[in-house]
Structure 1
Amino acid sequence: MNKHINNVAVIGSGIMGSGIACHFANIGVEVLLLDIVPRELNDKEKAKGLTLQDKAVRNRLVNDSLAASLKSKPSPIYHPKFASRITTGNLEDDIAKVAQVDWIIEVVVERLDIKKKVFDNLEKHRTPGTLITSNTSGIPIKFMSEGRSEDFQQHFCGTHFFNPPRYLKLFEIIPGPKTSKEVLAFLDNYGEQFLGKTSVVAKDTPAFIGNRIGIFSIMSLFHTVKEMGLTVEEIDKLTGPVIGRPKSATFRTVDVVGLDTLVHVANGIYENCPKDEKHEHFKLPQFIETLMENKWLGSKTGQGFYKKVKKEDGSSEILTLDLDSMEYRSKKSAKFATLELTKSIDKVIDRFNVLADGNDKAGEFYRKSFGALFAYVSHRIPEITDELYKIDDAMKAGFGWEHGPFQIWDAIGVEKGLELIKSEGNKPADWVNEMLASGNKSFYSVKDGATFFYSIPKKSMEKVPGQDAFIILDNIRKSNEVFKNSGVVVEDLGDGILNVEFQSKMNTIGGDVLAGLNKAIGLAEKDFQGLVVGNQAANFSVGANIGMIFMMAVEQEYDELNMAIKMFQDTMMRMRYSSIPTVSAPHGMTLGGGCELSLHADKVVAAAETYIGLVEFGVGVIPGGGGSKEMALRASDTFRKNDVELNVLQEYFLTIGMAKVSTSAYEAYDLGILQHGKDIVVVNKDRQIATAKAHAKLMAEAGYTKPIKRKDVKVLGKQALGMFLVGTDSMEAGKYISEHDKKIANKLAYVMAGGDLSEASLVTEQYLLDLEREAFLSLCTEKKTLERIQHMLKTGKPLRN
């Protein structure tokens, strides 16, 4: 099916509809967002003398909804200017415009009768061949397409986005009885390639895949918390990052999503799945009934399982609901010996065996919850899907689990998982024992860099489809390893391109990482054609190893610290001036040194969700790995004839001085961190390493030539320095910054001005690097800088002193 999506119409502008509209705008698609016409004037409209016929009134609902969405945090849109790609209207005056779009997405209230009326109206105007889909979270697709034309039914299916659409990757595609295979294949590919999603084709069963398993897991916990006498805090401690789930874990997540939303889906499953062997698990426990009666629905009502209150001294406190008394109390700490055993285990997948073997209440909890989960997912095949990997994909992409149920089961061991199932009085589906009997001892395996899964219908290991567009580092790390130390692994990506992958905690950059980078560049220059710096951890890099810097500064080992900073600078410059192309692939948090590394690559292939910035001011120093130099250089390259050069330089100065961090890769262009015409953004993070490799290969094949070292960086000297110093004086006088903030800013000003030169001059990069290193070292001798570093190490938060 050769189809291009240039325009979409989104019908319904609520939280979900506006979010979907914003995400299509994110990827460059023009969007028509429509909603109903208000039936009466509000007070503001009456005061202005408007009537129900005025366009501002008729489009009020859609415009207010979109405006509220664009103001929400986190933002649904990559860049504010992308909102101009959305045109609003109403379902009476503008419905005929759907004839001009390539795809119509219905996102109205979850009532079949209302959806059918909307489809009646749409079919009068829809052009034959136009895709038309529903974002329903549970209404059967077959009911929605009843009575529609043949062309409508062939091009109709469910496309279930998860909220918020920008951030959650799951894109469930649910065929109706007559949906054409070409439409399904197109949407499957479009979701992955263009929307940046994990596309999962599901069967038309209640709650589809993600919500069926996810709501079971939550409802199972609701019953377990009472059965085991656990607290809200304890469950959230046990079901958060320690097992690769979001920080909000279970109860905080329910508060954010809204208890009513969860209850709506749980009730739907309870009513529509009478043959589900765990049918009673979807029945609401009494404490949930009480919360619903009290309208304690979570964040939207100001209280749920948690409640934020103001204390007498004006400070805030978050209280927790006691599930026995149903009254709020101060939060209690939650500690378990079993969790302490996992603190030294960095990889989540390696923790599950330890957790399931625990001898305390935590171990008992994990055995119960894993046993129930494993049994449940085994019985959902073939009911909700024929392939087990789709269940794992759905839970990872829709609920933020780092590993899906079958991956966790594999980590514990299939036979051991069966013991957990039986110990809880459950039974696995027959196919699991049949799999073991056939000689297959796991649900997944890796061969020749590809992931294989156990196919139940074929009773054999089959390659997971769609992964040819990806490079999965976990799959090639051992077989393609070229070099390894405690900081990095260097892998051969094929076609003459190496990848250097950080392996330190939070991917911090210390001596071993720098040594590994240098080794990788040397290997690439000798025997390969290009180098990618990329990884597939949660974050690219949170920056330099400040613990190492702190220890050297406290011990006053300034010569060693000077050498460490020089090694960082020299490594960045080696990346810039190597004889092979270097490509950085940042994603997630890319802070401080991680940002500096990207600034010095020949090209950046950034994931759309990249939060990048030079944040060193937060720990009392300036960027010392070439970042301060690079921003001065980029300002110089931006100077144009008749520019007020001081104003240009000031923008780059403020990027560092205000520790600005982009909230998407597209915002990084505004900060001067990414460069138009050189760096690119990919929406699907899974494709990032493969795309970076392709660009490194292309640059090499195009005849890459080693750059010539720069000796032409224009610095403005005393003219710029004077302006910056006056600015920091006034900022301190106005109490916008502290005395120490001023000291740091003045050091940065000295570097970016090129020192106190009497006039504008051309200097070398090394000249600026030397000024930068000197400023960095002098700040490391300051007591207040050491206090800031120590506070960051202890709390993870910046200190203002």
Structure 2
Amino acid sequence: MSDSEFKINTVAVIGSGVMGSGIAAQVANAGHKVLLLDIVPEGAANRNVIAETALARMKKADPAPFMSKRAAKLVETGNIEDDLEKLAGVDWIIEVVVEKLDVKQALYRRIDAVRKPGTAISSNTSTIPLARLVEGMPEAFVRDFMITHFFNPPRYMRLMELVTGPDTNEALAASVTDFADRKLGKSVVVCNDRPGFVANRLGVTWIQLGVLKAMEEGLTVEEADAVMGKPFGIPKTGIFGLIDLVGLDLMPHIGASLKSALPDGDMFHATNRDLPLVNKMIADGYTGRKGKGGFYRLNREGGRKIKEAIDLGSGRYSTSAKVESPELKAARKPRQVMEIDGPLGRYAFGVMANTLSYAASLVGDAADDIAAIDEVMRLGYNWRWGPFELIDMIGAPWLVARMREENIPVPDVLEKVGERTFYRIEDGKRQALQPDGSYRDIARPEGVLMLEDIKRVSEPLLKNGSAALWDIGDGVVCFEFTSKANAMDDQIMTLLDKTIGLVKKNYKALVIYNEGTNFSVGANLGLALFAANIAAWGEIEKLVSNGQATYRKLKYAPFPVVAAPSGMALGGGCEIVLHSDAVQAHAETYIGLVECGVGLVPAWGGCREMLTRWQNNPAAPKGPMPATAKVFEMLSTATVAKSADEARELLFLGKDDGVTMNRYRLLADAKARALAMVDGYQPPEPQEIVLPGPSGKIALEMAAEGFARRGIATPHDLTVARELATVLTGGDTDIIDPVDEDTILELEHESFMRLVKTKKTLDRFESVIETGKPLRN
């Protein structure tokens, strides 16, 4: 078989547990058929019951493994007794069965008897080396075999570790890598054939260090998680919250596997201790969030809902307390936390110095370069910075000196860095230190364009405190939000207005994109609340008017505009997407107009755009009322699409808008989309729509009042719903008269200003700012 024939279209997954079924779902999310097989239970009337049950469970799960109902239909279930011959028709077979070598090898022999030559075969094992898995297997099987270690949940975790052997067909491995990258959205990190590879080996050691050191220092779980948080770029779950999320009962199994596989003297063994408290918690059903609770739990006695934390000494629960440490609050950088005098500082240093030492020891063993190890921890454990990026931030000379004082091993690569850093910028390119002491450019995969690389070698065309404009080549510019949480404000509107003028004169197209966690969480409520508290209503009116004018100018600009959202695109962030000519969305884009939840109505053209989309929807019933009712339902309930596929169903995205599975490829895809639109581009024509008027408003209000009577809607929800109904039905318009854009924008503006002046809306603002959740008033 030639290299060009290694093309993957159909996949089979054997093993329908949480991981196996999740991998199958992600293949289906990519639009590919997948066969999901499992064993036949003894005496089962339905021989496919295990796989079918797994599929049914996934359809109801939250967070959802499937991005759409359509994806679920691409999964075919079966069993390995009756359906193994179907493997002859697939291109990639993924084994996800129990972590027992004899079970896996017995299955491999059965697979090899029915598969077609050149079919990729991989194991999702996280602990068993490849060399052991293929012992005694035929040469042709060994050539086609590799390890593809996905992370749970497979839809949301972007990392896949790839392990190949000396005899693995490189072209076949490249085909699997390309499919995992482009279709499954994975960042593929090549690891060496060592037990635990990188993620489990380093991540589990870090977690175990976190638990042991907290007990040694007498810290509370809240204190430990606060230390292992923001300053180190680690998610707010910290160590103990992460264990609760993963499941306490999983940790002993992983520990036992690594214990049997890792060589004597490995740092892992010193951290892998039997903990009576953890054993008792598991025995009592306290296995984490999936059980009765874990290190944290919710006490619901007497109708209450109080968060409690366990005492690591006594094992008793008490109300969880916020950590009030002036030193910790003042420490904004990793080294500052490690230098705190007392238990908190000793904990920070003890956990992270040992973890960083262990990470350095894995270079040349589990992986060949530092960039791979950093990528694993960023994507596998959601660290903001990888271990070697952290060492650069801390300062290698200081860290090494302290490690020697504390008798922590200093691996060779940490010795070699000396006064230098693991990463440096040379000729505009980011380079990483190699095991031999030299530096090498960090190469992006083909077809990947990152704004962070462009920013490293160029200056912005335009910039202010909340946004920047960058030249990304070929006549295309990129507009980037830079405000906190990418919240929309007056500075973004000002720079966007300037951008439109600049692109008209000098460029071909505009892409709206950023590399934040979220595209935009919506308008800056803090600024709005401040303005309202000093009765600066004119400033708020100006913000609404400027937003409407700017978005309108964007929509009718004489050049293509492509929005490229990822993560949350809410409120004003959703509205800028709605005003773009085309969208290239990351698959994990969560988009919606959520203003009603904070006591407002969309006022930057969102109501108008959604009404137009639903009236133009050929699948919707004809007439003004069905479209209006649908938009009212979505906006009044602050509906958010939970994937780009769902956003298309809700018409936040159009049928021709694109979806990119791999987050790293989003900007390149958006730029290509923009360039493809340049030749012959014509801006859209303004469109009038027909709205139901006062009679329609009455119908919508009656529906809202019904929800209020059932206790679903609060009194202020009802107030907001009435204003929304006014906008969506066209105010006092006659049902036979078309309504233009100006009229709907004016209604949006008027309703917004009436609501923003109410105390209950301002109370919701304050609640969102303080707690992240709107007040139900």
SS at match of 2:616: helix
SS at match of 1:486: coil
For residues 599-678 of structure 1, the aligned pairs below 5 Å read: 599-638=578-617, 643-677=622-656
Q: Which residue of 1 aligns with 2:100?
A: 111
Inter-partner Cα distance in structure 1 for 2:412 and 2:646: 52
**1:769 maps to which of 728, 739, 745:** 745
Quick check: 492-501 or 262-271, which moved more?
A: 262-271
Contact 2:357–2:409 (8 Å) recurs in 1: yes
Alpha-carbon distance, 1:177 to partner: 4.4
Inter-partner Cα distance in structure 1 for 2:170 and 2:232: 38
Q: Does 1:685 align with 2:663?
A: yes
SS at match of 1:58: coil
Q: Which residue of 1 aligns with 2:22?
A: 19
Q: Which residue of 1 aligns with 2:374?
A: 392
Q: Does 1:737 align with 2:737?
A: no
User: 5+ unaligned residues in a row in structure 1: which ranges?
Assistant: 42-51, 346-350
Inter-partner Cα distance in structure 2 for 1:739 and 1:477: 48
Q: Does 1:135 align with 2:124?
A: yes
Q: Does 1:698 align with 2:676?
A: yes
1:265-300 deviation per Cα after TM superposition (whole angstroms, max 9, x unaligned): 222222322334423222334434444555643234
Q: Does 1:714 align with 2:704?
A: no
Inter-partner Cα distance in structure 1 for 2:252 and 2:428: 42
RMSD between aligned residues: 2.0
SS at match of 1:788: helix
For residues 328-407 of structure 1, the aligned pairs below 5 Å read: 328-342=317-331, 351-407=333-389
Contact 2:485–2:518 (8 Å) recurs in 1: yes
1:358-417 deviation per Cα after TM superposition (whole angstroms, max 9, x unaligned): 345433322222321221111112111111111111111111111110011111222223
Q: Which residue of 1 aligns with 2:270?
A: 280
Quick check: 777-786 or 24-33, which moved more?
A: 777-786
Compared with structure 1, are the counterparts of its residues 620 and 301 closer, same or farther at alpha carbon in structure 2 (3 Å cutoff)? Answer: closer
SS at match of 1:252: helix
Specify the code of the residue in structure 2 equivalent to 1:18.
S
Inter-partner Cα distance in structure 1 for 2:595 and 2:610: 14
1:92-147 deviation per Cα after TM superposition (whole angstroms, max 9, x unaligned): 11111111111111111111111112112212211111111111111121122122
Q: Does 1:471 align with 2:460?
A: no
1:29-82 deviation per Cα after TM superposition (whole angstroms, max 9, x unaligned): 1011011111135xxxxxxxxxx4xxxx11111111221233221111111221
Contact 1:168–1:398 (8 Å) recurs in 2: yes
Alpha-carbon distance, 1:499 to partner: 1.2
Inter-partner Cα distance in structure 2 for 1:641 and 1:36: 44
Specify the code of the residue in structure 2 equivalent to 1:181.
E
Q: Which residue of 1 aligns with 2:425?
A: 446
SS at match of 1:308: strand
SS at match of 2:418: helix
Q: Which residue of 2 aligns with 1:36?
A: 39
Inter-partner Cα distance in structure 1 for 2:153 and 2:265: 29
Inter-partner Cα distance in structure 2 for 1:737 and 1:139: 54
1:425-467 deviation per Cα after TM superposition (whole angstroms, max 9, x unaligned): 1232223333438xxx11112345543211224x321122334
Inter-partner Cα distance in structure 2 for 1:759 and 1:135: 60
**2:307 maps to which of 315, 318, 337:** 318
Quick check: 190-199 or 161-170, which moved more?
A: 190-199
1:298-319 deviation per Cα after TM superposition (whole angstroms, max 9, x unaligned): 234424322333222x112333
Contact 1:241–1:247 (8 Å) recurs in 2: yes
Q: Does 1:596 align with 2:596?
A: no
**2:477 maps to which of 492, 498, 506:** 498
Specify the code of the residue in structure 2 equivalent to 1:305.
F
Compared with structure 1, are the counterparts of its residues 703 and 450 closer, same or farther at alpha carbon in structure 2 (3 Å cutoff)? Answer: farther
Compared with structure 1, are the counterparts of its residues 567 and 25 closer, same or farther at alpha carbon in structure 2 (3 Å cutoff)? Answer: same
Quick check: 637-646 or 109-118, which moved more?
A: 637-646
Compared with structure 1, are the counterparts of its residues 173 and 515 closer, same or farther at alpha carbon in structure 2 (3 Å cutoff)? Answer: same
1:449-499 deviation per Cα after TM superposition (whole angstroms, max 9, x unaligned): 543211224x32112233453232233225322122111122111111111
Inter-partner Cα distance in structure 1 for 2:617 and 2:115: 49
Q: Does 1:487 align with 2:490?
A: no
Compared with structure 1, are the counterparts of its residues 464 and 541 closer, same or farther at alpha carbon in structure 2 (3 Å cutoff)? Answer: same
Q: Which residue of 2 aligns with 1:306?
A: 296
Q: Which residue of 1 aligns with 2:67?
A: 78
Alpha-carbon distance, 1:158 to partner: 0.8
Alpha-carbon distance, 1:553 to partner: 2.6
Contact 2:334–2:393 (8 Å) recurs in 1: yes
Alpha-carbon distance, 1:192 to partner: 1.7
Contact 1:194–1:683 (8 Å) recurs in 2: yes
Specify the code of the residue in structure 2 equivalent to 1:9.
A
Alpha-carbon distance, 1:639 to partner: 6.5
Inter-partner Cα distance in structure 2 for 1:775 and 1:301: 46
Q: Does 1:428 align with 2:417?
A: no
Inter-partner Cα distance in structure 1 for 2:318 and 2:580: 52
Contact 2:8–2:176 (8 Å) recurs in 1: no
1:508-559 deviation per Cα after TM superposition (whole angstroms, max 9, x unaligned): 1111121122222222222221111111111111101112222333333323
Q: Does 1:225 align with 2:225?
A: no
TM-score with structure 1 setting the length = 0.93
Specify the code of the residue in structure 2 equivalent to 1:111.
K
Q: Does 1:61 align with 2:47?
A: no
Inter-partner Cα distance in structure 1 for 2:502 and 2:66: 41
**2:243 maps to which of 229, 254, 275:** 254
Report the identity percentage. 35
Compared with structure 1, are the counterparts of its residues 179 and 172 closer, same or farther at alpha carbon in structure 2 (3 Å cutoff)? Answer: same
Contact 1:336–1:361 (8 Å) recurs in 2: no
Q: Which residue of 2 aligns with 1:790?
A: 766
Contact 1:338–1:362 (8 Å) recurs in 2: no
Q: Which residue of 1 aligns with 2:9?
A: 6
Contact 1:473–1:536 (8 Å) recurs in 2: yes
Q: Which residue of 2 aligns with 1:556?
A: 535
Contact 1:5–1:29 (8 Å) recurs in 2: no
Inter-partner Cα distance in structure 2 for 1:296 and 1:748: 46
Specify the code of the residue in structure 1 equivalent to 2:140.
D
Contact 2:27–2:184 (8 Å) recurs in 1: yes
Q: Does 1:749 align with 2:739?
A: no
Q: Which residue of 2 aligns with 1:49?
A: none
Q: Which residue of 2 aligns with 1:571?
A: 550
User: 5+ unaligned residues in a row in structure 2: which ranges?
Assistant: none
Contact 1:9–1:101 (8 Å) recurs in 2: yes
Q: Does 1:544 align with 2:523?
A: yes
Q: Does 1:531 align with 2:521?
A: no
Contact 1:207–1:265 (8 Å) recurs in 2: no
Q: Which residue of 1 aligns with 2:440?
A: 462
SS at match of 2:35: strand
Inter-partner Cα distance in structure 2 for 1:157 and 1:640: 46
TM-score with structure 2 setting the length = 0.95
Compared with structure 1, are the counterparts of its residues 718 and 640 closer, same or farther at alpha carbon in structure 2 (3 Å cutoff)? Answer: farther
Q: Which residue of 2 aligns with 1:725?
A: 701
Compared with structure 1, are the counterparts of its residues 738 and 223 closer, same or farther at alpha carbon in structure 2 (3 Å cutoff)? Answer: closer
